[in-house]
Structure 1
Amino acid sequence: MSFHWESTVIAIIAFVLLYWLLNKYAFGPLFGVMEKRRQLVNEEIEAAESSRREAEQQLAEQKRALEEARKEAQEIIESARRTSQKQADEIIQAAREEANRLKNEAIREIQNEKNNAIAALRRQVSGLSVQIASKILEKQVDEKAHEQLVDQYLREVGKTS
C-alpha cells in the first residue's frame, strides 16, 4: 500500500468543494428551516406559557368573583333574616299594643258598667228608702212590723234586679 499524495489532495479538494456546495445549497436552507422551526417552537412555548398565565389569572379572577358572589349571597341572606326578624318583632309589638288597647278598653267598659250599675242600685235603694220611710210614717208600726216591712221590700228588690 502506497501513499499517493495526489489522491489525498484531490480528496481534500473534493471534500472542500462538497462542503461548500452542501453549505450553500443544503446546510443553509436546512439550518434556516431548522432555525425557523426552533423559533416557531419557542414562540409556541411562549404562547403556551402566556396562555397558561392568562388561564391562571382568569381562574384566580373567577375564584375571587365566586367568593364575592358567595359573600354577597350570605349578606343577602343575613339581611333577609334581619329584615324578617325585625318584621316579626314589629308584628308582635303591634299585636301586644292592640291587646293592651283592647284590654284597657274592656277595663274602661267594665268600670263604666260597674259605675252605672252602682248608680242604678243607689237610685233604687234611695227610692226604696223613701218608699219604706213613707210607709213607716203612714203605718206607725211597731218594731217587729217595721222589720217585716223592710224584709218585704228587700225581697221585692231582689226579685226586680
Structure 2
Amino acid sequence: MTTVWEWFWQVLALFLIIVILKKLLFQPVSDFVEKRRQLIAEEVNTASSQKKQADALKIEYERKIKDINREADTILKDARAKALTREAEIIEAAKTEAQNIKQKATEDIKLEQEKVKDEIKTQMIEVANLMASKFVQSSIDDSKQTQLISEIIDEMGDVQWLS
C-alpha cells in the first residue's frame, strides 16, 4: 500500500504544484498577455484614427492647393486683362499725341506759308514801287518797258515755286 500512498501523495503534490504555479505564474502571465493584447489593440486603433486624420488632412490640403491654383489663374487672367487694357490706353494716348503733333505741325506749316506769302507780298509791293519809280523816272517806250520788266524779273529771282 505504500505505493498507493506514495502515489496519492505524488498526485496531491502535483495538484498543489499546479495550483501554486497557476496562482504564481499562469495568472500573471495571462494578465500580462491580456494587457499586452489590449495595448496592441489600442495602438492599432490609434494608428487607424491617425491614418484617417492624415487622409483627411491630405484631402483638405489637396483641395486648398486646387483653390490656390484656381486663385492664381484668376489673378493671372485679371493681370493679363489689365495689361491689355493698359496697352490699349497707351496706344490710344500715343495715337492721340501723334495726331496732336501732326495737327500742330500742319498749323505751323500753314503759319509759315502765310508768313512767306506776306513776305512775298511785301517784296512784290517793293518791286512794284521800284518799278513804278523807275517807270516814272524814264520815259517808257516798248523797248524800254521790255528791258525794265527783264530787270525786275532778274531782281525778283525765280518765283515759280509760289504757285
The normalised TM-score by structure 2 is 0.71
Task: Point out 4+ residue stretches in structure 1 off by more than 6 angstroms.
Answer: 12-23
What is the distance in 2 between the residues matched to 1:158 and 1:18? Answer: 153
Of 23-32 and 77-86, deviating more is 23-32
Give per-residue Cα distances to partners, 1:69-113, cap 9 Å, x unaligned. 323333343344334334433333333333222222211111101
What is the distance in 2 between the residues matched to 1:147 and 1:89? Answer: 67
Q: Which 5+ residue runs of structure 2 have no aligned equivalent?
A: 1-10, 159-163
What is the distance in 2 between the residues matched to 1:49 and 1:59? Answer: 15
SS in 1 for 2:140: coil
Shift of 1:22: 6.7
Give per-residue Cα distances to partners, 1:20-68, cap 9 Å, x unaligned. 7676555544443333222222211111110110111111122122223
What is the distance in 1 between the residues matched to 2:48 and 2:147? Answer: 124
What is the distance in 2 between the residues matched to 1:14 and 1:144? Answer: 179
What is the distance in 2 between the residues matched to 1:55 and 1:13? Answer: 60
Where does residue 124 of structure 1 map in the other structure? 123
Where does residue 145 of structure 1 map in the other structure? 144
SS in 2 for 1:124: helix
Q: Aligned partner of 2:155: which letter?
A: E
SS in 2 for 1:141: coil
Q: How does 1:54-73 map to 2 (within 5 A)?
A: 54-73=53-72
Q: Aligned partner of 1:84: which letter?
A: A
Shift of 1:132: 1.9
Aligned residues: 156
Answering whether residue 83 of structure 2 is matched by residue 84 of structure 1, we say: yes
What is the distance in 2 between the residues matched to 1:157 and 1:31? Answer: 138
RMSD of the TM alignment (CA)?
3.5
Q: Which 5+ residue runs of structure 1 have no aligned equivalent?
A: 1-11
What is the distance in 1 between the residues matched to 2:86 and 2:14? Answer: 101
Where does residue 46 of structure 2 map in the other structure? 47
What is the distance in 2 between the residues matched to 1:16 and 1:143? Answer: 176
The normalised TM-score by structure 1 is 0.71
The answer to which structure, 1 or 2, has the higher relative contact order (CA under 8 A, 6+ apart) is 2
What is the distance in 2 between the residues matched to 1:66 and 1:24? Answer: 61
